Amino acid sequence: MTFEHILYNVTGRVATVTLHRPEKRNALNGTMVAELQTAFSIAEKDTNVKVIILKGSGEAFCAGADLEYLQQLQKNTREENLADSRSLMQLMQQIYYHDKVIIAQVEGHAIAGGCGLVTLCDLSYAVPDALLGYTEVKIGFIPALVSVFLVRKIGEGRARDLLLTGRLISAQHAEYYGLVNQVVPATEIAEYVAKIAEDLCSGTSANSLKVTKKLIAGVLDVSLEQALEEAAQRNVETREHADCQRGIQAFLTREKMKW
């Protein structure tokens, strides 16, 4: 499928979604948001795809909202702005609850909505020169949607620091805060992320990854007792799944499992 603002390709069991507006520093607009939704839907339905890599073309990962897009928002009616916000909300939910593991490969600055995309990914790796942050308050806007996910990811205190100050932090600081998993040299990051993706494809059960993601996403939504009961039920379902039965058999017979 051909897109206007993104690239989508599959190599082996890994789908790569590339934000592709390098002349605009991969800034988000309504079209790109819709195309990202479509790409993630395609990847979710493709049984051959097990891992998704999200990256950007050119020097930036994503510079946030496009200027023309921001200008249009000022002209929108309340209903139009609500519909637009809900579209972005749906993309965020789609990434957060996606069945497949999504890895952010951050090879440039990730700002505002761009940093929001990093926040939502399961795993994130950034180059040393990348700056990350949520600058919405500096233009009179608010980081409303991403705040819901950021508090979950790095805790209230650190989320307050980043969201209220609107400051940009280094990749190293983002790693310290838990916003990214690791800082990787620019000359090595593509190979490093590809290796992480390949290890997930060859060394883990797709069903186990999907169920584990669901457990993590839902654990803060219910009481401790409910979370434990849900975990117990998931244990039973997983033990009955063919992946678990094959994996245990391979372990007992000391055979290398091919996932």
- Confidence bin at 84 (pLDDT 50/70/90): confident
Tell me the backbone φ, ψ of residue 146, rounded to 5 degrees: -65, -25
Residues recognised as catalytic: 136
Q: Tell me: pLDDT of 217 over 80.
A: yes
Residue corresponding to tokens 């921001």: 70
* Max CA separation in the chain (angstroms): 66
Residue 63 CA to residue 131 CA, distance in Å, equals: 10
The pLDDT tens digits for 172-187 are 999 999 999 999 999 9
Residue type at 217 in one-letter notation: A
- The pairing of strands 169-170 and 131-133 is antiparallel
CATH class of the domain whose range is 6-201: alpha beta
Identify the weakest region by mean pLDDT among 71-75, 201-205, 233-237.
71-75
Domain boundaries, the chain: 6-201, 205-252
Give the 3-state secondary structure of residue 254. Answer: coil
Lowest mean per-residue pLDDT among 128-142, 155-169, 184-198, 244-258: 244-258
Structure tokens at 162: 């980043």
Please give the C-alpha separations between residue 100 and each of 190, 205, 208, in angstroms, as whole numbers: 19, 11, 11
User: Could you tell me which of 10, 19, 122, 112 has the C-alpha nearest to residue 61?
Assistant: 19
* Span 231-244, pLDDT tens digits: 888 888 888 888 88
Could you read off the pLDDT of 2-59 as tens digits, one per residue? 899 999 999 999 999 999 999 999 999 999 999 999 999 999 999 999 999 999 999 9
**Dist CA 217 CA 227 (whole Å):** 11
* Residue given tokens 């993309």 in the structure block: 91
Amino acid at 40: F
Residue 121 banded pLDDT, cuts 50, 70, 90: very high
Q: 223 by DSSP, 3-state: which?
A: coil
